[in-house]
Structure 1
Amino acid sequence: MINNDHNREIQAEWDLLTCLFTNDSPYPWNPDTVEAEAYFLEQEAAVSLLDGFTEAELAERSQQFICQMNPLWSVTSLKTGFLQRFAEQIPDELLNRLLEVATRITQQVSFQSLSLADQLVYCVQDLLPQWSEEDLQVLARPFAYAMRGGELEGMEGGSAIVGSVCWSELSEIEQARTCLVITRYALSEILSDQENS
C-alpha cells in the first residue's frame, strides 16, 4: 500500500534538494564584475514573475499552501515528541507504524462512531498479529474507560505499564499494554491537535 503522506514527504525533500543544488552558477562574490551585473538582472527578472499575480491571488494561494503544510508539521512534531518520549519503551519502527495508523484513522469519519476500546484495538491489531481481536478488546477496556476524563493516568510520570524497561525484556502482555497505552495517548494528542487547528 502506498502511503501518500510518505510520498509527499519524499517529494518535498526532493524539491528542497533540487532548489539547493541547481546547476545555476553560484552567487557572484564580487558585485563589480560584468558577470555579476548579468546575474543580478537575471534574478530581478525571475522575481518579476510574481508581478503577474494580484494580491488576492497571492493571499489565496499562500493560504492554500499553509493549510496543506499545517497537518504535515503537526504530524512531524507529534512523531518527534513520541520518539523522544517512548524511544526506550517501543522500537522506532513500531512507534512510527502506530502513529501512522492512529493519524490515518482519526481522519476517517467512520472511525468516530467506534468506541474508544474499538479504536485502540483497530490501531494496534496489525502491530500485534499474534493477539486475537477479542483478547485485545479485553486488554483495551481498562485504558479506554479508566482514562475517559481526558486524563492519561500514569503517562506523565511514567507508569508501571510504560516504564523504562526495554521492549525486548517485556512479556507479550506487557508489550500489548504498552502499545495500547501509547495508542491511547497518541489518539488523544492527534484529536487535540485537530481540534486546535
Structure 2
Amino acid sequence: MNESINPVSSLSHKNRIEQEMLHAILVDEAVYPWNPADPATTAYLDQLEATFEPGNLSEDIFESQWRRLSQQAEQLWSSHTNSLAVSLIQKFESRMPIQLLRQLAANVEAATNSGQTLMDQLVNCVQDVVQGWDPEDLRVMARPLAMAMRDGHGEVLEVTLRSIQQTEWDNLSEVEQARLSLAIARYALGEVSQQSES
C-alpha cells in the first residue's frame, strides 16, 4: 500500500515544482530593466541617481581617488613588464647590454598579444636590437628555435645559448649577436607564456 502512495506523492511533488518554476519564469515583473531604449530604464536610473547622496565627497576627492587608483593600476601593469626585464637582466646581463635587454623585454611584451606566429614574434622582437638585418635572414635563424620548441625539444634553446661564446656583446660577430638575441627572445616569450598560464 505504501508503494502505491509514493509514486503519486512524488508525481504531485514534481508537478508542484514544475508549476512553481513556470510561475517564476512567466511572472511579468521586471527584475532588471536594462534596455537603454526603454523609457522605464531612464526613470529607473534617475531614481537610482536620486538616492545617491555624495555627502561630503566632492569632485576633488573623487578625482584624487581616481588618480590614486590609476597610479596603482599603472604600477601593477609596469611591474609585470619590469618583471620580465628584471628576469632577463638577471639571467643575461653578462651577455647583452642592459638597455638592449630592456628593449627586448618591451618588444616581447608587445609581440605576445600580436597574434603572430612564433617565428614572426621572434623576428619582430629582435629587429630593433640587431638593426640592419633583413627580416628573411632573421627568419632563417629563428626557424630552429621556433620549430624545436613547437615539437617540445626545448634543449635547442640551451644548445644555441651554449654555442655562442660568452663574451661581451661588442666582441660578438653580427651573426652571433642575432642568434643570441633570438635565443633570449625565445626564452622571454616562453617566460611570458608560462606567466599567462599560471
Q: TM-score normalized by structure 2?
A: 0.57
Q: Determine which structure has greater relative contact order: mean sequence separation of CA pairs < 8 Å that are 6+ residues apart, divided by chain length.
A: 1
> What is the number of equivalent residue pairs in this alignment?
137
What's 1:131 paired with? 133
What's 2:82 paired with? 76
Unpaired runs of 5+ residues, structure 1, are 1-50, 53-60
What's 2:108 paired with? 102
Unpaired runs of 5+ residues, structure 2, are 1-55, 58-65
Offset at 1:63?
9.7
What's 2:174 paired with? 172
Offset at 1:105?
2.3
What's 1:92 paired with? 98
CA distance in 2, matches of 1:191, 1:170: 29
Change (3 A) 1:158 1:178: closer
Offset at 1:82?
1.1
Q: Point out 4+ residue stretches in structure 1 off by more than 6 angstroms.
A: 61-67
Q: Where does 1:110-189 land on structure 2 (aligned, <5 Å)?
A: 111-112=114-115, 114-149=116-151, 152-153=154-155, 159-161=161-163, 163-189=165-191
CA distances 1:105-149 after superposition (whole Å, capped 9, x unpaired): 223xxx22x221111011111222211011011011011111224
| Residues 161 and 180 in structure 2, CA contact (< 8 A), matched pair in contact too | no
Letter of the structure 1 residue corresponding to residue 142 of structure 2:
A
| Residues 89 and 162 in structure 1, CA contact (< 8 A), matched pair in contact too | no
CA distances 1:36-82 after superposition (whole Å, capped 9, x unpaired): xxxxxxxxxxxxxxx97xxxxxxxx9999876654333322222121
Percent identity between the two aligned chains: 37
What's 1:194 paired with? 196
Q: TM-score normalized by structure 1?
A: 0.58
Change (3 A) 1:162 1:151: farther
